[in-house]
A and B are shown apart, each in its own frame.
Chain A
Amino acid sequence: MDILEIVIGAVALLMTLRIFLERSRARKLLYLCCLSFCISALIALYVKSPMGGITAIVYFITSTLSSNAIAYTIEQTKHIE
């Protein structure tokens, strides 16, 4: 274990805890974005090959795509209520 992986893992654990404790559904997305950054960095640091880097990029971009869709849906359902 390197010091860098310990620091990134600690940040990821803290973010998971805060996602459970946060009540507002919209502000959970902000913590979730930070968690995706941590997971993407951990993938790259553990899989030390160019394909691991491509995997990290594809994971991060698709996670922002799904966050985009979720935020759009929350905004749309606000008008229905």
Chain B
Amino acid sequence: MDEIVVSILKMLVAGAICWINFVIIDTYFGLPEQPGVLGAKMIGEKVKDIGGNLHGGYFMGNIVCSPDASAGTLLASIMNYLMGVEGGLITALLVWIGNRLCADPGYAGTIGALTITAIISLLKPIIEPKYFVAGMVLAIFTIQGLDHKHASLLLGKIAKKMNRGE
């Protein structure tokens, strides 16, 4: 019983680290600023129709339409769990190729993969990499799956604070 509580706690801490990592990197590389592809523009307008923020909607549309720092974080923690630090390097290469196939410059995906590799290798003695996999699923669930209106308002506020958008 005690073991389950400890593992749930580790999962929540790992999820918070992943959330901060990918939201800051995605916002810094300008995801809320402009829709990179046409599909992201459409999703941003649809999110605005239900009362959300337009720039937060662009952020969510860009995550759907190309593998950004969110994908880099999940895939790098998967490969760190299976192969160690070298897996993070392979992830950065494959995510860059995927980004270019989706007509995206590819800064956010590769740098997100490399930073989460550094964080995981620092925290390895305390939190094992497999908790980061589940934590990242919970982190993306709070943005894409829970409540689109309030998530986009929060993302728009963060974008305004970091001078990206508006």
- Do A and B associate with each other? yes
The answer to whether B30 has its CB under 8 Å from any CB of chain A is no
DSSP majority for the B interface?
A: helix
A34 touches B148 (CB 8 A): no
**Within A1-20, which residues are at the interface with B (CB < 8 Å)?**
3-4, 7-8, 11, 14-15, 18
Docked complex Cα distance between A29 and B63 (Å):
11
What is the distance, in angstroms, from A77's C-beta to the closest C-beta of chain B? 10
A60 touches B75 (CB 8 A): yes
A57 touches B91 (CB 8 A): yes
B39 touches A74 (CB 8 A): yes
B40 touches A53 (CB 8 A): no
A interface size (C-beta, 8 A): 45
A64 touches B64 (CB 8 A): yes
Residues of B within 8 A of A3 (CB): 4, 7-8, 11
B137 touches A71 (CB 8 A): no
Residues of B within 8 A of A67 (CB): 39, 64-65
B interface size (C-beta, 8 A): 51
A65 touches B98 (CB 8 A): yes
Residues of A within 8 A of B40 (CB): 71
A40 touches B42 (CB 8 A): no
Residues of A within 8 A of B110 (CB): none
Residues of A within 8 A of B140 (CB): 33-34, 37
A52 touches B46 (CB 8 A): no
Q: Which residue from B61, B94, B133 sits with its C-beta under 8 Å from A57?
A: B94
The answer to whether B13 has its CB under 8 Å from any CB of chain A is no
B46 touches A24 (CB 8 A): yes
Q: Which residue from A15, A44, A64, A75 sits with its C-beta under 8 Å from B71?
A: A64
Q: For residue B40, which residue of chain A has the nearest CB?
A: A71
Q: Which residue from A34, A38, A50, A72 sits with its C-beta under 8 Å from B83?
A: A50
Docked complex Cα distance between A65 and B138 (Å):
23
Q: Which residue from A11, A27, A45 sits with its C-beta under 8 Å from B130?
A: A45
A-B contact pairs, 24 of them (CB 8 A): A3-B4, A7-B11, A7-B137, A11-B138, A14-B145, A26-B46, A30-B144, A31-B145, A34-B141, A37-B136, A40-B75, A44-B133, A45-B130, A50-B79, A50-B82, A57-B79, A61-B67, A65-B102, A68-B37, A68-B65, A68-B102, A71-B39, A71-B61, A75-B41
